[in-house]
Amino acid sequence: MSRFIVRRLALMLVILAASSVIIFVVGRLAPGDPVQLLLGDVPDPQVVARVRRELGLDRPLVEQYLRFVTGALRGDLGQSYANPGRPISLMIGQAFPVTVRLAGLTVALAILLAVPLGVISAVGRGSLTDVAARLVALGGMSVPNFVVAILLILTLALGLHLVPVSGWGQREHYLLPVLALLIQPLAYMTRITRASVLQALGEDYVRTARSKGLPPRHILMRHVLPNAAIAIITVAGLAFSFALTGAFVVETIFRVPGMGQAAVGALFLRDYPMVQAVGLLYTAIFITMNLVADVLYALMNPRIRY
């Protein structure tokens, strides 16, 4: 296990290095000049040249990339073009906890709802409840987050006036963003739970327990669910990563002051340092969560050896 973790950590460094190059190059290839976007219609070329020099955009691309990488290694992500004088690390430190709370609450609710739904669907395989749960799960996986967000605004906010459309700081402000993010992980985890429970129900140890006359509830709680939980827990980590990225659009729609709103604003303004920092951060999160999922899977399943 220790060798596997060391190999994965080394691979993580390689992926982060490659990702930093891709993020930097794609950002520079995107149409639009950050200086022109910041200054607007400024005819004076001297002003444009001065701002470009202050932002370091007049230097060679290789030098700009090396400054970005060396700064990131020191923990200095630079300063935002759109918010002069504000360190990006400070902006991320303010926005990232908001997104983490949103994604964490979403995944927690998804687990609480998906596990019983998946178990009921698997135990009653072929029943009307099973068919309904599978159809709902399929629909939930097919509908994008932004469509769900718009429907929630039209019904709960504008139609029934139950919750505010946007805003942040109060408990009711969590409802619409969490519901918009919840649909896809709930649907996916329900299907995973159902498949895992069905697989466990077909194992020899379950048939042996039935032949001994053990109650179905005892078999389910003591033999089926502990083994099905292996896949559920590992998938939950990946669902958290996807909830973090899915929050980009949802946060923008509901004006939540998280990473999504900051990243989308940076993309529109060609705020290169902010875009690079967000891209590198989320790459690191995805790699780390995949590593954690693999380690948890090996720890919970003795048959897995790396």
Reported as a single tens digit per residue, the pLDDT across 235-257 is: 888 888 888 888 888 988 888 88
What's the CA gap between 245 and 254, in Å, rounded? 15
Structure tokens at 229: 């939980």
pLDDT at 303 over 70: no
Report which of residues 82 and 178 the model is more confident about.
178
| Angle at CA of residue 86, ends 85 and 89, nearest 5° | 140
The closest of 298, 207, 300 to 8, measured between CA atoms, is 298
Q: What is the pLDDT of residue 97?
A: 92
- Amino acid making up residue 282: Y
pLDDT at 264 over 90: no
Q: What is the pLDDT of residues 15-44, one digit of tens each?
A: 989 999 999 988 888 787 788 777 777 667
Are the C-beta atoms of residues 147 and 224 closer than 8 Å to each other?
A: no
Burial of 88 (0-12, 13-18, 19+ CB in 10 A): buried
- Residue 54 CA, chain-centre distance (Å), reads 34
Return the residue matching tokens 């891209």.
279
β-bridge mates for residue 79, sequence order: 87
If phi over 0 gives left and psi between -120 and 50 gives alpha, with beta otherwise, what is residue 32?
A: left
Distances (CA, A) of 194 to 39, 109, 131, 133, 230: 55, 17, 12, 10, 13
Instruction: Select, from the ranges 105-109, 133-137, 295-299, the one with the highest average predicted confidence (pLDDT).
Output: 105-109
The closest of 155, 188, 159, 156 to 175, measured between CA atoms, is 156
What's the CA gap between 33 and 60, in Å, rounded? 16
Q: What is the pLDDT of residues 154-196, one digit of tens each?
A: 998 888 888 888 778 788 888 999 999 999 999 999 999 999 8
Position 304 confidence tier, pLDDT thresholds 50, 70, 90: low
- Residue 33 CA, chain-centre distance (Å), reads 29
Domain ranges of the chain: 88-300
3-state secondary structure of 213: coil
| pTM for the predicted model, two decimal places | 0.83
Q: What is the pLDDT of residue 126?
A: 81
What's the CA gap between 92 and 94, in Å, rounded? 5
**Beta-carbon contacts of residue 172 (< 8 Å; ≥ 6 apart):** 163, 164
Out of 3.90.1150.10, 1.20.1280.260, 1.10.3720.10, 1.40.20.10, which CATH number does the structure's domain 88-300 have? 1.10.3720.10
Q: What is the pLDDT of residue 306?
A: 58
Are the C-beta atoms of residues 93 and 168 closer than 8 Å to each other?
A: no
Length of the chain: 306
The closest of 202, 196, 204, 199 to 117, measured between CA atoms, is 196
Tell me what the pLDDT averaged over the chain comes to.
85
Are the C-beta atoms of residues 252 and 268 closer than 8 Å to each other?
A: no
